[in-house]
Amino acid sequence: MVQALVCAFLIVLLPRAMNSSKDFINDNGLNSHLSALIQNLDGVEKEAVARQYIPDMQELNIRSDESSDPISDEKYTPINGIVHRYPDRVLFKVSNVCDVYCRYCFRREMIGVGVGSSHLSDNDFDEAIKYIKSHKEIWEVILTGGDPLILSPRRLQKIFDCLGEIDHVQVIRIHTRIPISNPTKINDMLPPVLKSVSKAVHIVLHVNHTVEINDNVGVAIKALRAQNCSILSQSVLLKGVNDDAKTLEELFKKLITLHVKPYYLHHMDRAIGTSHFRVSIKRGQEIMKDLQGRVSGICLPKYMLDIPDGFGKIPIDNGYINALDDGNKYNIEDYQGCTHIYSDEI
């Protein structure tokens, strides 16, 4: 019985595609940078970082309101590699793997070597580029996956060259965790590739706690900025990691000193086995109200909810969300003016 439970635990919880490269992943499922970082921390700071990456038995608690595709990427996928939810921009999922695997990730069931190739096939890549070329309303292409910066400089160069030939694409956005989770990968090979891009490049870093930003991360951010890239950040509001105003104040202020603009604070998506990370909307709004009086306006990101079933992101303020009488249900309005009922049970 115990052996069966342990086997089930490992199958469900270990990242689906621990990158097999010994340069990145050690026996704990963490790369050497994160392992060293966690080992050098104590107390709540250690827990705040480790909790994000190390499997927990609580992930076996699967709730009925959780989904393998909580924001309905699949619904808006016209061809492999492209998610076209909003008219003027697309997600271009160029990689299927990450350098490390976040336990709360909304794509945790979709990414990793175990669910397919590590990146798009040549044919799928060509079809994705054709799709972007044929839809002249696409102004921005967002590279995501997986993590696009896990790709080789040669493959990244091919992506940038192909997008650079499409006149109506004006902006390339890159969503990445690597400058935070493995900053040494931002080496001498990557910056020249970025410098060659003919479009405006905006890099969005995923970071949730100040202690994730050490000297090596600062060097990586500086190297990216030197290539004429705009740098923003996105964070996820996570119980036991950053669910208090003081922690987020320190994070956002630190980012601003590094010339990184806090962009989004995400209300967590309901991926399978993630309920132990949940923070209520009410608590999130209280934290944002507290931050409003504690930090400069340039430090404040938007607090965002991605409406389940693919209805898009909305800022969580009184103009978009209102509590109903029973206390844990909300009436929310999406970007198109449609209303939906959102249940916020914790």
Q: Catalytic: 334?
A: no
Structural domain including 38 reads 2-343
Q: Are 24 and 149 in contact (CB under 8 A)?
A: no
Catalytic residue chosen out of the listed positions 105, 131, 147, 344:
105
Q: Catalytic: 303?
A: no
Question: For residues 309 and 335, which has the higher predicted lDDT (pLDDT)?
Answer: 309
**98-117 burial by CB neighbour count: b if 16+ within 10 A, else e?**
bbbbbbbbbbbbbbbeeeee
Residue type, 97: V
Q: Catalytic: 309?
A: no
pLDDT-based confidence at residue 112 (cuts at 50, 70, 90): low
Mean pLDDT across 154-177: 96
Lowest mean pLDDT: which of 9-23, 79-93, 117-131?
A: 9-23
For residue 266, the cross-strand partners are 236, 304
pLDDT at 207: 98
pLDDT at 9 over 90: no
Q: Which two tokens stand for residue 139?
A: 């102004």
pLDDT-based confidence at residue 179 (cuts at 50, 70, 90): very high
- Which ranges constitute the DSSP H helices of 228-329? 245-257, 281-292
pLDDT at 127 over 90: yes
Q: Catalytic: 269?
A: yes
pLDDT at 266 over 80: yes
CA 314/CA 10 separation, integer angstroms: 36
Residue type, 188: D
CA 26/CA 18 separation, integer angstroms: 9
pLDDT at 114: 54
CATH code of 170's domain? 3.20.20.70
Catalytic residue chosen out of the listed positions 51, 69, 93, 98:
98
Query: What percent of the chain has a predicted confidence (pLDDT) above 90?
Result: 71
- Which ranges constitute the DSSP H helices of 14-81? 32-39, 43-53
pLDDT in tens, 283-323: 999 999 999 888 999 999 999 999 998 999 999 976 778 88
pLDDT at 187: 75
pLDDT at 139 over 70: yes
Catalytic residue chosen out of the listed positions 102, 173, 177, 264:
102
pLDDT at 123 over 50: yes
CA 154 to chain CA mean position, Å: 24
Integer-rounded Cα radius of gyration of the chain: 20
Q: Catalytic: 225?
A: no
Instruction: Give the β-pairing of 89-93 and 82-86.
Output: antiparallel
Q: Are 88 and 252 in contact (CB under 8 A)?
A: no
pLDDT at 221 over 80: yes
Domain total for the chain? 1
pLDDT at 111: 66
Q: Catalytic: 306?
A: yes
pLDDT at 26 over 60: no
Mean pLDDT across 20-35: 60
Catalytic residue chosen out of the listed positions 85, 199, 283, 329:
85
Average per-residue pLDDT for the chain: 88
pLDDT at 18: 36
